[in-house]
Structure 1
Amino acid sequence: MTILVIGATGRVGRHVVDQLVNRGASVRVLTRDPAKADFPAGVEVAQGDLLDIDAQRAAFTGVDAFFLLNAVTGDEFTQALVTLNIAREMGVDRLVYLSVIHADLFVNVPHFAVKFGAERMIEQMGFNATILRPSYFIDNEHMIKDVILDHGVYPMPIGGKGLAMVDARDIAEVAAIELVRRAQAPATLPVETINLVGPDTLTGSDVAAIWSDVLGRPIVYGGDDPSAFEQNLTSFMPKWTAYDMRLMAERFVSDGMIPQAGDVERLTRLLGRPLRSYRDFASALAASEETATA
């Protein structure tokens, strides 16, 4: 059983590789720069990117199933459709695709609309696929930890409807379970969509309260201003990306990221354990910062 992991160097993909190795799968990864790849022993590293047709054909040779995670780039949609077409050409129709929760609803947000387009191709072109729709990643909070710890402000404009934030390790474990299930299935399985959420749906004020409790000092919520969020992002990312993130934040505020009935229970059964919580993350991060400064 050989499984190809595309998007293996990111915060989810690395965990997917580890989970697959732990389950006894032979793992191949596709990466632009093998010299920077740091994977467990035995993982095969193939060089190339998602617009390199020859590299993709080589990477898909002899593969039983694949994991597809597309980075948010200006040509994300092209990358996704090229990869899915190459997979079909090479006879690999079993996959787990990492989409995003509410991809079918947040249609004005570019990277959501892209993922919904890829979902439609998967559903209409005969793939044997699990589509994973994660909520906002808890792990994104590493990017704002200094603002929280040094300035006492939780700056993400996540609004008052609530986000069911999910841990990247839980995403990766579900992905590995589904990849192995599909790779080993004796017959074609129907397309299935799974919402990936955390155990709690939290507002901006809820998150600030968790940090206040964990740190033992007041942390305030910075408020629901996606335009200020966009301005901050333009200091370290392209303006189109910052605008994309601003549109996403607007939907956080107007709609939230709300689980469907039964999502948490389904994931708990699938994993055989409780989901990792935001409080777990905040407590671990605070403890690590205390250790680093001791």
Structure 2
Amino acid sequence: MTILVTGATGTVGRQVIEQLVKRGADVRALVRDPAKANFQAGVAVAQGDLLDVDSLRGAFSGVSTLFLLNAVASDELTQALIALNLAREAGVERIVYLSVIHSDLYVNVPHFAGKFAVERMIEKMGFNATILRPAYFMNNDLTIKDVVTGYGVYPMPIGSKGLAMIDARDIGEIAAIELIRREQSAPPLPLDRINLVGPDLLAGTDVAGIWSEVLGRPIAYPGDDTAGFEENLRQFMPSWMAFDMRLMSERFLTDGMIPEPGDVARLTALLGRSLRSYRDFASEIVASA
């Protein structure tokens, strides 16, 4: 049977597809523009999006397992609920959903609250699902590497509580492992939630220190200016999204993104290797420059 991957052309979606192909899965990718697909040989492409009911019905035909990823959008919850209802209509019972860590804690942050609502719907609708809850993506920092290297500062207001940052490649591989596990299981597997975290809990000063060591020169952490963060984001994203990101960063400062006991050990066992560290990530960026 076929595994359908939504969000297929994004940072995580591409990693999921690559890992599924490596494992010999029958993969179908849902994309808005097939010209941008550029996937490995053997990956089927279904054109459509999560608000196009007709295209989704076609994409779900013959699908047994769904990887559901919704990008941050003003109608993210609507997209997810349409996908879940059409999946159930098509007889899809097995789902891996990409949520976010502390979705039940960051209750005032729109995209966190939306993902928690989707988690509840998955549970109430009776899907056999794995809910993946990733912490902050290290790969988000690709967008600010020029600020780090050019201006000598790490500008993300992540505070001092600590974020257990994870590499998107690890997210993609864990998602693929869970998709295959559910796809190949004869009996339905019970609902499960997995926190996706990196090996280290990092404050802003810690990340600046890593960049200092990797670059061989001082990199400063200027502090926790969430208002300035929002203002900068408004230059290249809608105001509602920039405000959403500000609210998230404010929860970084008050709550952090803290793993539960056993999270790192569970992920290490699942992968059969160590999780990638932020130092690994930063070193790769510097080496490729």
- TM-score scaled by length of structure 1: 0.98
C-alpha distance in 2, partners of 1:60/1:222?
48
**Aligned counterparts of 2:245 and 2:105: Cα–Cα separation in 1:** 16
Look up the match of 1:152. 152
Deviations 1:249-276 (A, max 9, x none): 0000111000000000000000000000
What stretches of structure 1 move > 4 A for 4+ residues in a row?
Answer: none
Give deviations 1:40-70, integer Å, cap 9, x for gaps: 0111001111111111111111011010100
Cα offset, 1:2, TM superposition: 1.1
Deviation digits for residues 183-214 of structure 1, max 9, x if unmatched?
Answer: 11111111000000000000000000000011
Q: Which residue of structure 2 lines up, in the alignment, with residue 59 of structure 1?
A: 59
Structure 2 matches for 1:249-264, cutoff 5 A?
Answer: 249-264=249-264
CA distance in 2, matches of 1:101, 1:173: 17
| Aligned residue number for residue 247 of structure 2 | 247
Corresponding residue of 1:207:
207
Look up the match of 1:136: 136
Contact 2:9 2:36 in 1 (8 A): no
What SS does structure 2 have at the residue aligned with 1:205? helix
Q: Are the counterparts in 1 of residues 7 and 70 from structure 2 also a CA contact under 8 Å?
A: yes
Determine helix, strand or coil for the equivalent of 1:194: strand
Give identity over the alignment, percent: 70
How far does the alpha carbon of each residue in 1:219-252 deviate from its partner, in whole angstroms, 9 at most, with x for none? 0002111111000000110000000000000000
| Structure 2 residue aligned with 1:91 | 91
Query: Aligned equivalents of 2:185 and 2:162: distance in 1?
Result: 37
Please tell me the residue identity of whatever aligns with 1:273.
R
Q: Give the letter for the 2:67 counterpart.
A: F
- Aligned AA (1:160): S
1:231 corresponding residue in structure 2: 231
Quick one: distance in 1 between partners of 2:19 and 2:95? 16
5+ residue gaps, structure 1: 290-294
Distance of 1:82 and 1:116 partners within structure 2: 16
For 2:15 and 2:110, the matched residues in 1 are separated by 26
1:277 aligns with 2:284: no
Partner of residue 69, structure 1: 69
Match of 1:23 in 2: 23
Name the CA distance, whole Å, in 1 between partners of 2:37 and 2:140. Answer: 22
Taking the aligned partners of 2:222 and 2:135, their CA distance within structure 1 comes to 21
CA distance in 2, matches of 1:163, 1:75: 27
The answer for unaligned runs of 5 or more in structure 2 is none
Distance 2:130 2:63 in 1: 17
8 Å CA contact 2:48, 2:55 repeated in 1: yes
Asked if the contact 2:133/2:193 (under 8 Å) is kept, the reply is yes
Distance in structure 2 (CA, Å) of the matches to 1:33 and 1:182: 29
Tell me the SS of whatever aligns to 1:153. coil
Q: Which residue does 1:194 correspond to in 2? A: 194
| Structure 2 residue 33 is matched with structure 1 residue 33 | yes
Letter in 2 for 1:44: A
Aligned to 2:45, the other structure's residue is in SS state strand
Match of 1:218 in 2: 218
Cα offsets for 1:2-48 (capped at 9, x unmatched): 10000010000001000000000010011111111110011100111
Match of 1:292 in 2: none
- Give me the whole-angstrom Cα distance separating, in 2, the residues matched to 1:129 and 1:23: 20
Q: CA deviation at 1:144?
A: 0.3
Cα separation, 2, equivalents of 1:222 and 1:169? 29
Q: Which residue of 1 aligns with 2:176?
A: 176
Aligned residues: 289
